[in-house]
């Protein structure tokens, strides 16, 4: 009589057809023979018939539910079929038979990850092999999904420490560095991944925005176009291409590219915001400002929720409206100019913002009360986010209210700073060279040490308007006051004593402009929307002049022009 052992022997010798025929005959006689079912499942798997293998494994498992080998092999086939929920369930059953089995935990982790259950997947992988690079590379990918970027870097580094040729680990390092905005490091990691796996399109797609963020626009487009040639309608790759075009100041192409993204994902907040940014930079407030409301999906809340009705343009006569700051300090100083219009409509205006701004904002006309953002929202009839006033009041680029100055320094504080500075013979120039806010464009906006040194050689008396100390500034005799600038009211008083302010694009520049101080603003190649395109002036601040990079990263020509302007 033919047996499973004979059939398995035929299978091992490569005579699959004979083995399958023998097992078929056996199962006709004994359809619940678990060994025969198991062997038949293995034959179907070998033939590439995964569905057939799964059916035989299901039958074998039903007949012999405590056979660990059947249980594990069944889970493997379910994973290969992409039936991940069933695979997870099968792994649970197997692990009840063999607790802590590392292969089962690895398989379970992969299926949990495919189901988007990243925390559970990580917990599974944390119980499996410590010595395998692929396990740590998988952990790095899961940690990235969970937003645990620093831990992801550690896991990827551990993987590469075990196996420097693990391309996935290099890829995840690149992703993590990108999330930390460490673009040169990201490119180096992606390059290492591509050297090991040159055909992996996902690596090139991920490298593309990193290249754009160091000004290598042509290479970035080559990378992303290569990815799109493989998948022309991949929304994430299309968004990356649109981002690259925007970063390269190819405005019209970028707008068309974002429209293509939105055709696929009409409600994507990031794409809507990017489109809005391009429209506003062109001065198209009519189309751009309604889209600007999508920023609420992009930015975290800075002020507590208000129970007051959202103002949508109703009469304000005799009403109290709570205006809440929502973005950076520069946005507060820029958009607070709209608040007097609310008072002119008969409103009692309360402004709620962060503590360092409160004393200064009391100087704004039309504000009857300021409230700290750390406190509950004050009672009011209406509330409105500060930047939404542009839309609600129908702002247009050709009619920006700019009653300079609309913020004012306290005279007593100004007098104290005049005594401290002891008016020198040369012009007193405030200087800002770097921002402290984490922002995707912050590195582009800030001066490096070489650029700062070039600027500080101008024949003027520089005064730092930054809290952080700089050794470069100290070497050029720049007066630095650091912690003495306790809040923006103090900073405003110091600015009031100066002849001019030279600044990168940061909140201090907006403050100086709102105070009516002459400002020389140094802008990166891809400037923020509010500075429009190519202009050397701005409708926001009549006393401000703009100096733009003509090429990515080229501060030298900008600073040369600024130094010339300081001598005028």
End-to-end Cα distance, the chain: 108
**Closest Cα partner for 182 from 157, 206, 213, 154?**
213
Q: How far apart are CA 293 and CA 314, in angstroms?
A: 19
| Sheet of strand 348-353, all strands in order from the earlier edge strand to the far edge | 309-310, 382-385, 320-324, 348-353, 367-372
Q: Please choose, from the candidates 476, 457, 480, 479, the residue with its C-alpha nearest in 3D space to the C-alpha of residue 468.
A: 480
Tell me, what's the pLDDT at 442? 64
Given a cut of 70, the residues of the chain with pLDDT beneath it are 1-2, 7-8, 11, 15, 299-302, 436-442
Q: How many residues does the chain have?
A: 568
- For residue 34, what pLDDT is reported? 84
The reported pLDDT for the residue numbered 301 is 63
Residues 348, 368: Cα–Cα separation, whole Å: 7
Rounded distance between C-alpha atoms, residue 331 and residue 514, angstroms: 11
pTM, whole model, 2 decimals? 0.87
CA-based torsion, 315, 316, 319, 321: positive or negative: positive
Inter-residue contact 462 to 476 (CB < 8 Å): yes
Q: What is the pLDDT of residue 441?
A: 55
Q: According to the model, what pLDDT value does residue 17 have?
A: 81
What's the CA gap between 244 and 226, in Å, rounded?
14
Query: What are the chain's domains?
Result: 4-162 (1.25.40.10), 212-297 (1.25.40.10), 309-399 (3.40.50), 411-566 (3.40.50.2000)
> DSSP per residue over 160-210, as a string?
HHH-TT-HHHHHHHHHHHHHTT-HHHHHHHHHHHHHH-TT-HHHHHHHHHH
Q: What pLDDT, on a 0 to 100 scale, did the predictor assign at position 298?
A: 73
> In terms of DSSP bridges, do strands 348-353 and 367-372 run parallel, antiparallel, or are they unpaired?
parallel
Angle, alpha carbons 111-113-119 (nearest 5°):
125
């Amino acid at each position: 009589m033919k047996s499973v052992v004979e059939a398995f022997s035929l299978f091992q010798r490569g005579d699959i057809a004979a083995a399958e025929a023998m097992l078929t005959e056996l199962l006709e006689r004994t359809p619940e023979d678990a060994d025969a079912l198991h062997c038949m499942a293995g034959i179907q798997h070998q033939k590439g018939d995964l569905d057939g293998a799964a059916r035989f494994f299901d039958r074998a498992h039903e007949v012999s539910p405590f056979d660990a080998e059947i249980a594990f092999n069944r889970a493997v086939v379910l994973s290969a079929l992409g039936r991940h929920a069933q695979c997870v369930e099968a792994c649970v059953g197997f692990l009840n038979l063999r607790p802590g089995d590392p292969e089962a935990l690895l398989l379970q982790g992969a299926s949990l990850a495919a189901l988007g259950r990243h925390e559970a997947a990580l917990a599974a992988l944390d119980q499996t092999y410590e010595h395998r690079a692929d396990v740590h590379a998988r952990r790095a990918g899961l940690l990235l999904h969970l937003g645990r970027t620093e831990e992801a870097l550690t896991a990827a580094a551990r993987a590469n420490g075990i196996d420097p040729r693990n391309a996935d680990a290099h890829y995840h390092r690149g992703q993590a560095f990108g999330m930390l905005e460490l673009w040169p490091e990201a490119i180096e990691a992606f390059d290492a991944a591509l050297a090991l796996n040159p055909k992996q399109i996902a690596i090139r797609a991920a490298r593309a925005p990193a290249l754009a963020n160091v000004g290598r626009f042509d290479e970035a487009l080559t990378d992303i176009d290569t990815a799109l040639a493989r998948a022309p309608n991949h929304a994430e790759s299309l968004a990356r291409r649109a981002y690259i075009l925007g970063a390269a100041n190819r405005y019209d192409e970028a707008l068309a590219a974002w429209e293509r993204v939105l055709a696929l994902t009409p409600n994507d907040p990031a794409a809507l915001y990017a489109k809005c940014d391009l429209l506003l930079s062109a001065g198209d407030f009519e189309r751009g400002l309604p889209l600007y409301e999508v920023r609420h999906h992009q930015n975290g809340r800075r002020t507590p929720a208000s129970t007051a009705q959202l103002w949508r343009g109703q009469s304000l006569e005799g009403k109290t409206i709570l205006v809440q700051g929502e973005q950076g300090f520069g946005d507060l100083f820029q958009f607070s100019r709209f608040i007097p219009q609310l008072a002119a409509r008969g409103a009692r205006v309360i402004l709620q913002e962060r503590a360092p701004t409160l004393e200064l904002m009391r100087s704004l006309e039309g504000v009857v009360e300021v409230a700290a953002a750390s406190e509950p929202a004050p009672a009011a009839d209406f509330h409105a986010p500060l930047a939404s006033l542009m839309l609600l009041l129908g702002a247009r680029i050709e009619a920006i209210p700019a009653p300079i100055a609309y913020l004012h320094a306290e005279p007593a504080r100004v007098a104290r700073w005049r005594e401290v500075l002891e008016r020198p013979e040369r012009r007193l120039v405030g200087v800002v060279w770097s921002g402290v806010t984490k922002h995707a464009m912050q590195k582009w906006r800030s001066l490096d040490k070489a650029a700062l040194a070039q600027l500080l050689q101008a024949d003027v008396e520089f005064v730092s308007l930054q809290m952080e100390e700089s050794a470069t500034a100290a070497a050029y005799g720049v007066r630095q006051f650091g912690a003495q600038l306790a809040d923006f009211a103090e900073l405003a008083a110091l600015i009031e004593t100066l002849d001019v302010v030279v600044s990168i694009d940061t909140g201090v520049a907006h403050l100086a402009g709102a105070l009516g101080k002459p400002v020389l603003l140094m802008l990166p190649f891809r400037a923020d929307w509010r500075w429009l395109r190519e202009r050397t002036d701005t409708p926001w601040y009549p006393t401000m002049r703009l100096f733009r990079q003509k090429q990515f990263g080229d501060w030298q020509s900008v600073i040369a022009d600024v130094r010339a302007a300081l001598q005028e």
